[in-house]
Structure 1
Amino acid sequence: MSAEPAAAAASGPAAEPSAGLRKVARVVLLDPEDRILLMHGHEPEDAGDDWWFTPGGGLEGDETREQAALRELAEETGITDVELGPVLWRRVCSFPFAGRRWDQDEWYFLARTKHSAMSAPRIGDGLTELERRSVAGMRWWTCQELSASHETVYPTRLAELLRRLLDEGPPSSPEVLDTEIV
């Protein structure tokens, strides 16, 4: 499940994840031109309540976060030819979506693909029923486009984080982002 909330997030101090949080793996997928693939989502019953987010979702069974990242990417985008890199960021978030509250411990993996912005990504065949009702599409974004956008994007500092990643490379250990609660 790749839900993200539509409202602006309030940031607070970074929290250590607890056992009660849903474990989530997300993918910062970059093409050969360093564009990032983002999905466009909305509340299932309100397409005007929308936002952009990275592919990914919850772990299933005893799979690792790495396995979940690759599975979710394939299910949501159909993209399977990726080189999965390190965990870039970790974030705890809590938000309302589809009539319930989601409390998540998210890990963001760097991944690279040979797909490019010229290769139009497609919504994958593996979407859940809820995802089919709430995912409107996806597109490749340049860092400049992301920085200039006035649309809601999660995590809220993604443009800044992507710029730093492209300028400095992956961090030596995952950066813990501020907790986001909506």
Structure 2
Amino acid sequence: MTAEPFRSRTFTPIAPADRPRKTRRGVRVVVTDGTAVLLFADTDPGVPGSRWWVTPGGGMDPGETEIETALRELAEETGFHARAEDLVGPLMRRVAAHGYSDQICEQTETFYLLRVPQFTLDTSGHTAEEQVTLAGHAWIPLASLADVPEPIWPQQLATLASCGNDPERWPGDVGWVEESTVAIGP
């Protein structure tokens, strides 16, 4: 018997108290050309109509450094191959609790900045889960971020995209935040 492919699973929300919890470390990359920022439209298949915007990035593999994770995730999700010296940061650290319809993921995240000209994405490296949950991508003008009707995570994105090489402007450690399609608790 073979496992059912992720793409064909039926998503049924799990009661908040019964959702499995996982923890992990992750790295995200704020990709900007100075006028716009690259974001992915993400969804929760168990919550029809859900949609929010996130930066490229994801969980660290065993033995990886933050920089290795950032470069790997960027290449897998966008097709862009950056070098370690192209990344600025870490700009911000936080613990983000993501409540989804089927799980709760608490991720200790670090954010880096990458300034590059806009490029055409190659999403062929997306995982099976990303193929189901990601609903597109866009270079969103920095001046228009406040006008986007869906949530943009992290909330500090405009600051991160514009703080450049000045550590005085980097948010640093911002603590714990919740970013959920299904609230974590009462």
TM-score of the two chains, using structure 1 as the length reference: 0.75
Tell me: CA distance 1:170–1:141, structure 2 relative to 1, closer, same or farther (3 Å): farther
1:91 and 1:38 map into 2 onto residues whose CA distance is 19
Unmatched runs of 5 consecutive residues or more in structure 2: 1-21, 181-186
Give the RMSD, CA atoms, in angstroms.
Answer: 2.2
Secondary structure, counterpart of 1:43 in structure 2: coil
1:74 and 1:90 map into 2 onto residues whose CA distance is 22
Secondary structure, counterpart of 1:27 in structure 2: strand
Matched, 1:26 2:17: no
Q: Is the 8 A contact 1:51 1:151 kept in 2?
A: yes
Correspondences of 1:119-158 after superposition (within 5 Å):
119-122=119-122, 124-158=123-157
1:129 and 1:98 map into 2 onto residues whose CA distance is 18
Matched, 1:176 2:178: no
Report what 2:110 is aligned to. Answer: 107
Report what 2:11 is aligned to. Answer: none
Secondary structure, counterpart of 1:67 in structure 2: helix
2:121 and 2:48 map into 1 onto residues whose CA distance is 20
Letter in 2 for 1:137: G
Correspondences of 1:33-48 after superposition (within 5 Å):
33-46=34-47, 48=49
- Compare the two structures and name the one with the higher strand fraction: 1
TM-score of the two chains, using structure 2 as the length reference: 0.74
Deviation at 1:137, TM superposition (A): 1.0
Q: Is the 8 A contact 1:81 1:113 kept in 2?
A: no
Q: Is the 8 A contact 2:96 2:106 kept in 1?
A: yes
2:166 and 2:40 map into 1 onto residues whose CA distance is 22
Residue identity (%): 33
Report how many residues are paired: 155
Deviation at 1:30, TM superposition (A): 1.2
Letter in 2 for 1:175: G
